[in-house]
Structure 1
Amino acid sequence: MRKIAMTLTALSLTLGTGLAAAPSASAATPCPSGAVCIRETDGSILNKNIFYSYGAHNLDNVTGYRVVVNNQTGGAGFQECKGYNGTNCSAVYRWVGEYSAIDYTPINSLVLVR
């Protein structure tokens, strides 16, 4: 359900402003196998935004519309949290692949779960 809502949001942003919220697939840096990554607005992935270990990860200066890539294996997922240290979190997202861009300004941590 979240993926559909985010796709519709990104689509409305794209159609409404004429600007794409997410980078093109050809410009995007791949997310390593076994990781969850947050893309920069230009499609690159900074080392500080590649997460491998289970548990909470506080975000540093991640704001604006960002694309998250879940490239974990074995059905592992992640949660987006408004609080630091994995508090006030969303449901667990287990779909593998690239999620539609959402505003990460209110998101302060990610939690990787088995």
Structure 2
Amino acid sequence: MRKIAMTAAGLSLMVGAGLAMAPSAQAATACPSGAFCIRETNGTILSKNIFYSYGAHNLSNVTGYRVLVNSQTGGAGFQLCYGYNGTNCSEVDRVTGEFDPYDMTPINSVVLVP
């Protein structure tokens, strides 16, 4: 697994080992090109969990294990943050594709970076 060091707290977040594109029993909703998405446990993506603009995005009712999908283009990345408004965040991850399920319960915001 790839480790993302927490910049503010010296903690680490464990994110999936990369582009785990294994087939599943049910078809998952695709994340649109240019977006960062958080999938629901049933494989769907709610419109409130599709992010296009750079900057901090506060999360609401995103708990449990979710699949993160980075479909941003041009090398854009993301950070997962324990605090709201993009505080106490991981290092920037620029890998594109789907990540292994990650426990989003302690995460309160995501930041998209160019």
TM over 0.5: yes
Q: Which runs of 4+ in 1 moved over 6 A?
A: none
Unaligned runs of 5+ in 1: 9-21
Q: Secondary structure at the match of 2:80?
A: strand
Q: How does 1:54-93 map to 2 (within 5 A)?
A: 54-93=54-93
**What is the aligned partner in structure 1 of residue 11 from structure 2?**
none
Q: Does 1 or 2 have the higher relative contact order (CA < 8 Å, sep 6+)?
A: 2
Could you tell me the percent identity over the aligned residues?
A: 71
C-alpha distance in 1, partners of 2:81/2:65? 15
Q: Secondary structure at the match of 1:2?
A: strand
1:38 aligned onto 2:44? no
Unaligned runs of 5+ in 2: 5-13
C-alpha distance in 2, partners of 1:78/1:50? 13
C-alpha distance in 2, partners of 1:56/1:92? 13
| Cα distance, 1:101–1:81 mapped onto 2, change above 3 Å | same
TM-score by length of 2: 0.81
Paired positions, count: 100
As a proportion of its length, which structure holds more helix?
A: 1
C-alpha distance in 1, partners of 2:88/2:82? 6
As a proportion of its length, which structure holds more strand?
A: 2
The residue type equivalent to 1:105 in the other structure is T
TM-score by length of 1: 0.81
Cα displacement (A) at 1:25? 7.1
Cα displacement (A) at 1:24? 2.0
Please give the per-residue CA displacement for 1:34-85, whole angstroms capped at 9, x wherever unaligned.
Answer: 0000000011000000000000000000000001000000000000000000
C-alpha distance in 1, partners of 2:80/2:24? 23
The residue type equivalent to 1:100 in the other structure is D
